Amino acid sequence: MGGVANPVILTIDDDPAVSRAVARDMRRRYGDRYRVVRAGSGPSALETLRELKLRGEQVAVLVADYRMPEMTGIEFLEEAMDLFPAARRVLLTAYADTEAAIDAINLVDLDHYLLKPWHPPEEKLYPVVDTLLDAWATTPEAAAAELRVVGHRWSAPSFAIRDFLARNLVPYRWLLADDSEGGRLLKAADATVDDVPVVIAPDGTHLARPTEAELAALVGLRVAPTEEFYDLVVVGGGPAGLGAAVYGASEGLRTVLVERRATGGQAGQSSRIENYLGFPEGVSGAQLTDRARRQALKFGAELLTTREVTGLTEAGSARLLTFGDGSTIAAHAVVLATGVSYRVLDAPGLAELTGRGVFYGSAATEAPSCVDQEVYIVGGANSAGQAAVHFSRYAKRVHLLIRGADLTASMSRYLIDQLDRIDRVVVHPHTVVAAGAGTEHLERLTLADTRSGETREVDASWLFIFIGAQPRTDWLDGVLVRDERGFVVTGPDLVAGGRRPPGWSLTRDPYHLETSMPGVFAAGDVRAESVKRVASAVGEGAMAVSLVHRYLESR
């Protein structure tokens, strides 16, 4: 191991006999690769975790008994998440406590619960722990526990690196170039402040101003396909794309998902999704994305990052996709799930300040920097409301700027009620951003009243924009039928007056989610007339796979 301590499996139980038994079974199976540590209570286990954190060690799995004095297993796991968020969490429980264990799945993002007794371990313990260890080993934290990024505070390239890492759930340590430790790292990397951002891997490998593809390769994200031909290519890694990848791979299709930037899409940036089925306490976009990604990998799907698809053509019975670098990949069928992007706010001064105080989307990496400051958010849909709730935990005040008279036309009722209860959030109706100004970063905003035209200037360092949605379909111009806004038209909407779309080569009408090119389907926000919700996107991804099977069987 080159002097590096093995990752830790930590077991916590106040019953000494049970504690010894679970530790014994763990060491018998995993002792050659993992260090099994046991604790007799929640507080002592937390103290152990703090020591491990200070020493830079890794924790792979936490196994905590539910019923313990001083601190229950659920309470322990909830606090342990702050120290080792990537560690897989298991609750050890008696049959009578299974309801509490099920509740813990949402409360502490529990990965599994085990009933006592777990014998024989070969049937009831090891298969569960094997799966969790495999999932932990594939997370970026397991491969890069101490990735460091050195950059400038108000730097668009530095923000882009941090945002990419955050969206891909890669943990890192952020250091300012003008701080002493940041300066020492730059010197060790033979770099200067002019070379930042500099990214340094745990093994000492370092990159100055890396591209997203270089950064992805450095942190262990897959960037190249292993094959030239697949049963199914999914383009886009949001909820619809991840849903298609999970169902495609689980049903035996050789599946590859191609994502331009990071899995999760806009939903992956949400601080908390509270109306998703099965999560009564809500779930963060990052948690939902992580679970879906792990699920897709478990079933054998390949996930490619930083690969932009720029072309789609028919090649006999195959569908050929072209990447930005000119390379290609082919498949029997394609699911387009490229989602939408936020529209650019066209106001003087904002373009040059993007990444330096002006951000599109929630930019969750910036929230801790907004402590006791004024934050401005543009937009009246759910994404803007979720961001307002999230930033209200840090900011002195959050100003939500909307064009309309109120939020009822564009935001879910539960979010409106939630915002009404937060004193720090102020909604400004009939208000738009007319201009922005600043030198090294955003310093001032000019706000305009849409009714009177009157303007006022406010001091502001933080502006987050959530306006409208435009599909990423320019590369499909002339290839697929799109509506006037660029959304992909599918199914019955392609048949006008009994006539199928131009170039349609089959004797049947297009299937429900099928585009004007047979064998190519669209799911989620990119599809015309789709419901813009996470649950419906996941459903369409699953439905697209069932239609792919029907298409393949009918050829």
Find the CATH number of the domain harbouring 435: 3.50.50.60
CA dihedral 371, 175, 79, 42 (to 10 degrees): -140
Shared-domain flag, residues 49 and 120: yes
Which two three-digit tokens encode residue 552? 């393949």
DSSP state of 541: H
Q: How far is CA 496 from CA 253, 387, 492, 501, in A?
A: 33, 41, 8, 8
Give the CB-side neighbour count of residue 470, counting CA atoms within 13 A. 9
Asked, for residue 16, whether it belongs to a domain, the answer is yes
State pTM to two decimals: 0.76
With contact defined as beta carbons under 8 Å apart, do 526 and 488 qualify? yes
Shared-domain flag, residues 305 and 235: yes
Shared-domain flag, residues 99 and 122: yes
pLDDT value, residue 54: 61
Q: DSSP readout, 367-424?
A: GGGGTTSEEEEE--SHHHHHHHHHHTTTSSEEEEE-SSSSSTTTS-HHHHHHHHT-TT
Question: Does residue 347 sit in helix, strand or coil?
Answer: coil
264 CB-near residues (< 8 Å, 6+ apart): 167, 237, 238, 239, 242, 285, 286, 288, 289
Shared-domain flag, residues 18 and 138: yes
Give 11-56 as a 3 state SS string: EECCCHHHHHHHHHHHHHHHCCCCEEEEECCHHHHHHHHHHHHHCC
Shared-domain flag, residues 233 and 301: yes
Asked, for residue 3, whether it belongs to a domain, the answer is no
pLDDT value, residue 202: 80
Shared-domain flag, residues 268 and 311: yes
How far is residue 372's CA from residue 385's CA, in Å, rounded to a whole number? Answer: 19
Shared-domain flag, residues 370 and 279: no
pLDDT value, residue 9: 97
How far is residue 370's CA from residue 375's CA, in Å, rounded to a whole number? Answer: 7
With contact defined as beta carbons under 8 Å apart, do 147 and 173 qualify? yes
Shared-domain flag, residues 418 and 463: yes
How far is residue 346's CA from residue 183's CA, in Å, rounded to a whole number? Answer: 38
Give the CB-side neighbour count of residue 20, counting CA atoms within 13 A. 2
How far is residue 103's CA from residue 110's CA, in Å, rounded to a whole number? Answer: 9
Q: Where among 108, 142, 176 does a domain terminate?
A: 142
How far is residue 24's CA from residue 38's CA, in Å, rounded to a whole number? Answer: 10
Task: Kindly report the CATH number assigned to the domain that includes residue 180.
Answer: 3.40.30
pLDDT value, residue 140: 52
Shared-domain flag, residues 419 and 514: no
275 CB-near residues (< 8 Å, 6+ apart): 412, 414, 535
Structural domain boundaries, residue 382: 351-467
How are beta strands 318-323 and 309-315 bridged, if at all?
antiparallel
pLDDT value, residue 144: 40
| 252 φ/ψ sector (left φ>0, alpha ψ -120 to 50, else beta) | left
How far is residue 267's CA from residue 376's CA, in Å, rounded to a whole number? Answer: 20
Length of the chain: 555
pLDDT in tens, the chain (555 residues): 345 679 999 999 999 999 999 999 999 999 999 999 999 999 999 999 988 876 768 899 999 998 888 898 888 998 888 778 889 999 888 765 666 656 666 666 788 888 878 889 898 899 999 999 988 987 655 444 578 899 998 999 999 999 999 888 888 989 999 988 888 888 888 889 999 999 998 877 899 999 999 999 999 999 999 999 999 999 999 999 999 999 999 999 999 999 998 888 878 777 778 888 888 877 788 888 988 999 999 999 999 999 999 999 999 999 999 999 999 999 999 999 999 988 899 999 999 999 999 999 877 778 888 999 999 999 999 989 999 999 999 999 999 999 999 999 889 999 999 999 999 999 999 999 999 999 999 999 999 999 999 999 999 999 999 997 789 899 999 999 999 999 999 999 999 888 999 989 899 999 999 999 999 999 999 999 998 889 999 999 999 999 999 999 987
Render the burial of 323-338: b for 16+ CB within 10 Å, e for the rest. Answer: beeeeebbbbbbbbbb
Asked, for residue 224, whether it belongs to a domain, the answer is no
63 CB-near residues (< 8 Å, 6+ apart): 9, 10, 11, 12, 22, 26, 90, 92, 114
Evaluated on CA atoms 472, 475, 481, 486, the torsion sign reads positive
Asked, for residue 240, whether it belongs to a domain, the answer is yes
Asked, for residue 250, whether it belongs to a domain, the answer is yes
Q: Which residues pair with 537 in a beta bridge?
A: none
Cα(first)–Cα(last) distance of the chain, in Å?
53
Residue type, position 457, single letter: E
Q: Where among 467, 497, 512 does a domain terminate?
A: 467
Shared-domain flag, residues 362 and 388: yes
Residue type, position 444, single letter: R
Shared-domain flag, residues 72 and 45: yes
Task: Kindly report the CATH number assigned to the domain that includes residue 17.
Answer: 3.40.50.2300
Shared-domain flag, residues 513 and 547: yes
Render the burial of 386-399: b for 16+ CB within 10 Å, e for the rest. Answer: bbbbbbbebbeebb
How many domains are contained in the chain?
4
How far is residue 450's CA from residue 300's CA, in Å, rounded to a whole number? Answer: 52
Q: Enumerate helices (H) and strands (E) in the chain, giving the number of each.
A: 15, 26
